[in-house]
Chains A and B, each alone.
Chain A
Amino acid sequence: MSVIGTVPFPEHRGAPSLELVGFSKRFGALAALDDVSVKVNAGAFHALLGENGAGKSTLVKCAMGYYAADQGQILLNGREVEIAHPKQAHELGLGMVYQHFTLVPNMTVLENFVLSRGKLPPVIDWASERRVLADYFSTTPFTVPLDTPVADLAAGQKQKAEILRQLYLKRTLLILDEPTSVLTPDEADEVLSTLKKLTRDGAVTIITITHKFREVNAFCDTVTVLRRGKLVDTRPTADLDNDMMAEMMVGRRDNRVVVEREARPPGKAVLRIEGLSVADHVGQLAVEELALEVRAGEIVGVAGVSGNGQRELVETLAGQRDAQAGRMLVHGEPYTATRPEMIRHKIACLPEEPLRNACVADMSVAENMALRSFDQPPASPDGMRLRRLPMRDMARRLIEAYRVKTPGPDAPIKALSGGNVQRAVLARELSSEGDLLIVANPCFGLDFAAAAEIRTRIVQARNRGAAILLVSEDLDEVLQLSDRIVVMFDGRLALQTDAAQADVGAIGRAMAGH
């Protein structure tokens, strides 16, 4: 390989082409990438599609120099380059925008931009820096306020700032890793259409990792599909429809989750929330005067972009956060999320990030599965002593029934993969045949098969008459599972509708606050 640095790379204005040839990367026994080659044309808007673990992230991280590939060559504008470190990638004009934000929250946009430029004078002349950046922003398709701390920006603005920073640093090839997962559909469209325009003008080349077919269809010229570390194909988007893309992605056609549900009228109200207000971690109201009812045998889906109070609502219901005002009733009795109340009313809860919110990471799978029942017979005959044998028996039963992949009931739960932690917690929560199930983002980060299985379990619980509150940032999931859909925006319910008559356009608008 030629070494960049000894030969200065000719300055290239405008969008470059990028070719990745024969990339392979192993992590231990796992082949994350197996001889993958992708050609991205100059000025293309190129989608990288695949399930979790397909190798999309590994591929772009190899290209950016975060990982050293076992094999593979990078051709930039047809010329071989070596990228062993992200710095080299940056010097060549390659930049990456992540799903999570990388701007420093306690600094202003201006400070972030100036710092990321790297070369700073000993004393910074803020007046002139502000002028330069304001001038620059007047040429960009969108702007963000310069003197606001990044922490105070809305998610959409943060993502715009991340992209602007890449453009400001003169990156001409942007790799976006699920850039729109934190945005409303409208915000996503705005950001993506601007980027689309930049590619049309020949200013940048864009590779985007995504799982949203809608965005692929609307914005991308070409799509490369990976499956289990192997290249499936690279095709122009125009030649493909959603079914074909899905087939390429999962390799079989029965990928859509078909959830059988019994037609049944909902029963009596199990959970009633009246005028609930909850403050977030900085003391601002995240949930405002929310009223909601969940009846037996129905799934109420709460849709919405993350950060609109869903997390605080679930934490209040789970007893992790106190309400400022309002009340919650379960079976008509006041409910304050104490353990005795949860046991009496048979309430189960699968919060998001279960390893953090519903598990003790260092305890074993069996102990974690017993967290709801360890002080009751048979695990404890008198509420004082613990008996390991019944706990382990129960864990074995649940591990088998829910197909939790674990070395055994005594393995620490943190050693399990995300999907299996999710299954283990779901097993614990559903094993008590609860009357009320509170579920938040149950399939986040899971692959198709695991997600389908967990969704089926949730519908089964509904079919046997449990009341289910499903809070999810995945609109498709809400649409598939719910009997009734509400949309949360800015701490309030923006829309309530029966799932049968749901108008996706209206839901999308409500999610964006229109």
Chain B
Amino acid sequence: MSDGELGIWGVPLAMLAGAIRVSTPFLFVSIGECLTERSGRINLGLEGTLVMGAMSAYGVALGTDSPWLGVLVAAGVGLLLGALHAAICQLPRVNDIATGIGLMLFATGLAFFLGKPFIQPKAPNLGAIDLGWWSDIPQVRQALQVNYLFILGVVLAFALAWALRNTRWGLIVRLAGESVDAALAIGASVGRVRLIATSIGGAFAGVGGAFLSLYYPGSWNEGLSSGQGLMAVALVIFARWDPIRCLWASLLFGAAGAISPALQSIGVTQGYYLFSAAPYVLTLALMIATCSPARSLRGAPGELGAVK
């Protein structure tokens, strides 16, 4: 082992490292969507927000040489896209789903258009914390390079779970998602609550995008997201609208996404593309397993259009 050869043990280690790395955008998008959906609004456009976030973060990091400024701008762009979605959905007779898909296409297209000049240059990347300092094995050290955004995401997931249970603001968000009548009865403005929740959800997704372009894979191109934003929306259903479960579900999806590179690292190259499809297969399997015409989902917010 002294020469750094871990053999078969390299696979779970690489999957752990991959899970943390790959799960970060899932985590941000899913807790953002979780917040949005708990307020009774569904935002399918987060895939577009993710791509817009990735592009704007990369562009800003390239221009200013500050990746953290890029993250901030990505959050701002996400906030605006979320607010736009919420504002459109508030108009009478407008459907959340259709608006979400429209905005997803709009934001993706806009990102591709504005992002053309950023495809080649190399922007500075976000850093990571070295949690493997105690080990001599380079693979372990490498696997325990945990990026800051993942840690921020974990903190946000717990903070959101706490806030939804223990703060006035969290209870009112949930009330708006469960029963418009009850929210109006205590004098809450459902539209305003949803506008705020959807905007913050968008900001989270923007940060997830910044992670894609500034940490892993760490560059900007048009195939960067490949549907991760949409998968994260499905993941919220799997996580039953609970931010902490969103964290576990993201890690599960991350691990599935890391199977293929992990196997490759120990020399299993057969079926590389097949294993790459694991997260998509997982999404499909989860949707089939959790959706049934005979049962409605427990824990689903009462006002959520898609599950009504």
Contact = CB atoms under 8 A, between A and B. Distances in A.
B167 to A, nearest CB: 5
Contact of B175 (A115, A124, A281, A283): A115
Interface string B285-296: 000000010111
A124 B168 contact: yes
Contacts of B301: 106
A106 B181 contact: no
Nearest to B38: A106
B92 interface: no
Given A115-B171, A126-B166, A102 B295 contact: no
A190 interface: no
Interface in A78-120: 86-87, 102-107, 111, 114-116, 118, 120
Chain B interface size, under 10 / 10 to 19 / 20 to 34 / 35 or more = 20 to 34
**Nearest 9 interchain pairs by C-beta:** A120-B168, A104-B178, A281-B296, A283-B295, A118-B186, A104-B179, A281-B295, A123-B167, A122-B168
Contacts of A120: 168, 171
B114 interface: no
Nearest to A105: B302
B21 interface: no
Contacts of B166: 123-124, 126
Contacts of B296: 281-282
B185 interface: yes
A124 B171 contact: yes
Contacts of A281: 294-296
B167 A322 contact: no
Interface string B157-199: 0000000001111011011001101100111000000000000
Interface of B: 166-169, 171-172, 174-175, 178-179, 181-182, 185-187, 292, 294-296, 298-302
Interface residues of A, number: 26
A114 to B, nearest CB: 8
A107 B38 CA distance: 12
Contacts of B169: 122
17 contacts: A102-B179, A102-B181, A104-B174, A104-B182, A114-B171, A118-B187, A120-B171, A121-B168, A122-B167, A122-B168, A122-B169, A123-B166, A124-B167, A279-B295, A281-B295, A281-B296, A283-B292
Contacts of A111: 171
Classify the interface of chain A: helix, strand, loop or mixed.
loop
A120 B181 CA distance: 18
A215 B302 CA distance: 34
A321 interface: yes
Interface string A274-316: 0000011111000000000000000000000000000000000
A90 B221 CA distance: 58
A124 B175 CA distance: 15
Contacts of A115: 171-172, 175, 182, 186
Contacts of B300: 106
Nearest to A124: B166
B302 A104 contact: yes
A111 B168 CA distance: 11
Determine which residue in A87, A115, A281, A322 has the highest number of CB atoms from chain B within 10 A of its CB, and name it: A115
For A105, A280, A281, A322, the residue with the greatest tally of chain B CB atoms inside 10 Å of its CB is: A281
Given A104-B182, A116-B186, A279 B294 contact: yes
A120 B173 CA distance: 14
A197 B300 CA distance: 39
B175 A104 contact: yes
Contacts of A283: 292, 294-295
A129 to B, nearest CB: 11
A474 B292 CA distance: 32
A407 to B, nearest CB: 25
Contacts of A279: 294-295
Contact of A123 (B168, B187, B299): B168
A118 B296 CA distance: 30
